[in-house]
């Protein structure tokens, strides 16, 4: 399979959601539900005051994250997906949904939790450098970054392992690994921002 050389843009995702309401089965897949359970378990009992979810899609994980966040900004590049997310999260006053294409566009932080679930491998190397810079600037001291990525074969610009490794290099030494888990299907990585970065 030939790997893409550039970041996958908004038109790709908008086309998927216009063709099918839930192209990855976020609301119905047993794999997705188990992965969401593991995601919430990794976060533990520590509540987040201000969180960012990048690539919220139709809002299935968003609705679950809202329960452990005082305020959650959930962003995506697809207007169609965001409409579905807005419907799903309509009763959640602590959730804001916006169309933002990270890392070329960035929301105002700082955040004490940034969730990157199934998104980092869509970015080319230059965008991973930009995202690493964003994490350094917009993750509060003591804050967390949670990454979850499918490890199967794709044509995306990065593999799951390559994406996490390159983003870690870009984010630099201000972050330490708090948790690293791997299943047959995905990897889950939780990073902690040093409380007193240099």
pLDDT digits (tens, 9 = 90+) for 161-181: 999 999 999 999 989 999 999
Mean pLDDT of 67-94: 98
Residue 198 pLDDT: 53
The pLDDT tens digits for 115-172 are 999 999 999 999 999 999 999 999 999 999 999 999 999 999 999 999 999 999 999 9
Mean pLDDT of 19-31: 95
Mean pLDDT of 107-119: 96
**Which of 87, 96, 30 minimizes the C-alpha distance to 65?**
96
User: Which residues make beta-bridge pairs with 120?
Assistant: none
User: Which residues make beta-bridge pairs with 193?
Assistant: 175
152 within 8 A of 1, measured Cβ to Cβ: no
pTM > 0.85: yes
* Domain formed by 49-193, architecture: 3-Layer(aba) Sandwich (3.40)
Domain boundaries, the chain: 49-193
């Amino acid at each position: 399979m030939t790997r893409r050389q550039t970041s996958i843009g908004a038109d790709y995702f908008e086309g998927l959601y216009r063709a099918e309401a839930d192209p990855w089965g976020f609301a119905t897949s047993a794999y997705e539900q188990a992965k969401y359970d593991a995601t919430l378990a990794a976060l533990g009992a520590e509540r987040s005051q201000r969180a960012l979810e990048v690539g919220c899609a139709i809002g299935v994980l968003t609705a679950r994250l809202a329960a452990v966040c005082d305020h959650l900004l959930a962003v995506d590049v697809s207007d169609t997906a965001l409409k579905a997310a807005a419907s799903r999260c309509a009763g959640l006053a602590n959730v804001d949904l916006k169309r933002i294409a990270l890392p070329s566009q960035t929301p105002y932080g700082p955040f004490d939790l940034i969730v990157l679930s199934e998104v980092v491998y869509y970015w080319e190397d230059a965008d991973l450098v930009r995202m690493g810079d964003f994490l350094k600037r917009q993750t509060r001291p003591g804050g967390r970054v949670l990454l979850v990525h499918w490890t199967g074969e794709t044509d995306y610009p990065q593999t799951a392992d390559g994406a996490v490794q390159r983003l870690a290099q870009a984010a630099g030494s201000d972050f330490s690994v708090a948790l690293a888990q791997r299943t047959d299907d995905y990897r889950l990585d939780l990073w902690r921002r040093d409380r007193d970065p240099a």
